[in-house]
Amino acid sequence: MRVAVSKDVFPLAKAFTISRGSKTEAVVVRVEIEQDGFVGQGECVPYARYGETVESVMTEIKKLPVPISRKAIQSSMPAGAARNAVDCALWDLEARRSGKAVWQIAGLSAPKPEITAYTLSLDTPENMLAEAKENTSRPLLKIKLGGEGDIARIEAVRKGAPNARIIVDANEGWTSELYQEIAPVLVKLGVEMVEQPFPAGDDDALLKLERVLPVCADESCHDRSSLEDLQGKYDMINIKLDKTGGLTEALALRELAREKGYLIMVGCMVGSSLAMAPAVLVAQDVEVTDLDGPLLLAEDRANGLTYDTSHVHPPQSELWGASTNSPT
């Protein structure tokens, strides 16, 4: 077994801004695992918010003893970006060696296209109005908010996209006072959900505040071990493979969260189609799919996912999760 790791950089179509700052490129780590002439690959997006860098993730992967297996890495690697890339590469490798698609190996139904959100990054109300008008035909818009001026921003987006479903993401940028001021406005404007209003670890206010619309945990939810602390605070969780540490844990988290009564959102960091492909399997029939990362890039990988105005489509064999047993 051979494990190779590399860094890829994808310029963004335009600057992308959230409450914590802006970026103009997506820097990702790609893992390639070869065995018996078959090659599987996976991608992750190291995230500074969780103490990750491209260098630390690459070092973690390079130190792995080979051979490795999906089962072994669930205990030998912590949840996070590094394990995600390795786990997804191992799923892809198994599919190519077995002649079965990943969804078949995982015991899932054949994937179908899912409506995906399209994200409008944090900006002035005027610029967000213009962006909303450009994307008014999309069925679901996700709006990045972050504090002062948010009411004007969301009013502008609603004006620009009067018929779209809207969800908002504060990325830990609100206070309790701001939430209480903004929440009734969101309800009035038909916003369907608010994502991570308060900082992770400092969200106990949600135990007492009236949740007039569903509240989704993102930074507060990583893997199954997170769920216990979310009770009474959140109505929905955002499953991201870079947080769960791969497809294996993401599927397990989805199952357990359903059992506990949570609504499910499947989201992403800003990466290429290779990072989104496994998440499409997790996103089947969930309440909210937010896998628009490739749409924010100036150029995606070759053989990337297919997007139409509304949907993200399942990956083709050339990208990830193939059902072929012909070695390279």
- Phi-psi group of 101: left, alpha or beta (phi > 0 → left; psi -120 to 50 → alpha; rest → beta): beta
Degrees (nearest 5) of the Cα angle 54, 281, 244? 40
Residues 79 and 72: beta-carbon distance below 8 Å: no
Kindly give the pairing relationship between strand 165-169 and strand 118-120: unpaired
Residues 77 and 83: beta-carbon distance below 8 Å: yes
User: Residue 272 has what DSSP assignment?
Assistant: -
Residues 157 and 129: beta-carbon distance below 8 Å: yes
Instruction: Give 205's contacts (C-beta < 8 A, 6+ positions apart).
Output: 176, 179, 198
User: Residue 292 has what DSSP assignment?
Assistant: -
Which residues are designated catalytic?
A: 144, 240
**Token couple for 252:** 């397990």
DSSP bridge partners of 165? 140
Using DSSP's 3-state secondary structure scheme, residue 248 falls into helix
Residues 145 and 122: beta-carbon distance below 8 Å: yes
Residues 311 and 115: beta-carbon distance below 8 Å: yes
In degrees and rounded to multiples of 5, residue 2 shows phi and psi of -120, 130
